[in-house]
Amino acid sequence: MAKASSTLVDPFASPTKEFYQNPYPIFAKLRSESPVLWSEKGDYWLVTSYELGKEILGDLHFEKGARRFKALDMLAKFLPNNEMLGFRQKSMLNQNPPDHTRLRSLVNKAFTPSMIAKMRSHIESIANELLDKVESKGEMDLVADFSFPLPATVIAEMLGVPVQDRDKFKVWSHALVGVLEPNPRVMNVAKTIHAYKELIDYLKPLVEERRKEKRDDLISALVESEEEGNHLTEAELLSNTVLLLIAGHETTTNLIGNSILALLRNPEQMDVLKQNPDLMPGAVLEFLRYDSPVQMVRRIADCELEIGEQKVMPEQNVIVALGAANRDPSMFTEPDKLDIARANAGKHLAFGHGIHHCLGSSLAETEAQIAVGAVLRRMPNLKLKADKLEYKEPFALRGLKSLPLTFR
């Protein structure tokens, strides 16, 4: 099989500190010299082009599936009957049609733009309550004090899980996303499975409570769907509740932090946004493009396919580097420039594309609009308190460990 010859190194295979700090120059080099790169170390194709990335995400011959994780396959050999592996594969994130269509339709109504619009005032009140707690101090860690608790509280309330347990969600979430590396270590996979079991054990009693007494929340809605015979198994119910709980705050936490940092590093854009708050919806689209909270997604070829004149064989893995695609100059003029009034920022791929386009995109955008707006409005003279910032691992989800700020 012919593969693209290149001396370039796959940055995902062994990410450096420099890559975590600023991956975009490396992405630009890859996109220019080898937009479809075969990674010998990773055993997958890496795509950095916007056009090709969008094409792959919209092509159902590039499938989703938990089998894409080699470490999971390896661990399954030692734990062939492990219940958690089975649960994870029931998530809509790892399903293809028709199961994906069925599962997504059961929760889609809760995430429509009209439903999210009804929640707006409540999200605003949560944001203001969080800022009330730190306003008098004149400083805060944006991540710990604001960008994590805001979306964590919102999704906990939507699902109907106790908000006071959100710190537990953070611990579980950190372990669960540890397998999002292209080739996760078996140790990380073991930690993920342990966290998954703890989270399933935590959710099971809540599900049983909803069987006895329905409430106005998503868990009740999923239980009701199961009881009405809509082909939702208990494993699917629990697995997708885990997905909604973790995905409902992890990426939005990163989006808010990345957005504020982008503005701090581009003060002229911050000034424009302060003076023109009506630009906020478009600004959030630009934040998503400029420093995507999700940097990569993976697909599996279900037959022999072609990407940019490269032959992809059945069962080969393909990684689409969303962050690279969103900085492609063939789609975005001056892509390394933050422009909150960019006309085509909405064409970003930060939420994916096609049938797997992020279910919670409207919620994430609304939370980011409210969060960034509240910080700019209530925290004058916003400044970075630390010279060096660290990014979380794995690289697949790009977000800061902390963002210390002062505002007086």
At residue 231 the predicted structure's pLDDT band, cuts being 50, 70 and 90, is low
CATH assignment of 17-407, given 1.10.630.10, 3.30.565.10, 3.60.21.10, 2.60.40.680?
1.10.630.10
11-41 residue pLDDT tens? 988 888 999 999 999 999 999 999 999 998 8
Cis peptide before 98 (omega within 30 of 0): yes
Tell me, what's the pLDDT at 85?
A: 57
- Which pLDDT belongs to residue 380? 87
pLDDT in tens, 388-402: 999 998 889 999 999
| Weakest-pLDDT range from 139-148, 186-195, 316-325, 399-408 | 186-195
DSSP string, 198-253: HHHHHHHHHHHHHHHS--SSHHHHHHHHHHTTSS--HHHHHHHHHHHHHHHHHHHH
| Res 391: pLDDT | 95
What percent of the chain is predicted at pLDDT more than 90?
Answer: 66
Decide if pLDDT at 382 tops 90: yes
Residue 192 scores a pLDDT above 90: no
Q: Please give the Cα distance from 398 to 254 (Å, whole number).
A: 7
Of 292 and 112, which is predicted with more confidence?
292
In the chain, the amino acid numbered 233 is: T
Out of 174-178, 218-222, 321-325, least confident range: 174-178
Q: 7, exposed or middle or buried, with CB in 10 Å at 0-12, 13-18, 19+?
A: exposed
pLDDT at 330: 98
Of 41-50, 118-127, 225-234, 243-252, the one with minimum mean pLDDT is: 225-234
- Examine the pLDDT at 356 and tell me if it is beyond 60: yes
- Average the pLDDT over 200-225 and give the result: 91
Question: What pLDDT is stored for residue 182 in this prediction?
Answer: 75
Measured CA to CA, the distance from residue 106 to residue 389 in angstroms comes to 40
Residue 86: the pLDDT is: 60
CB-side exposure of 317: number of CA atoms within 13 Å?
A: 20
Instruction: Say which DSSP state 35 is in.
Output: S
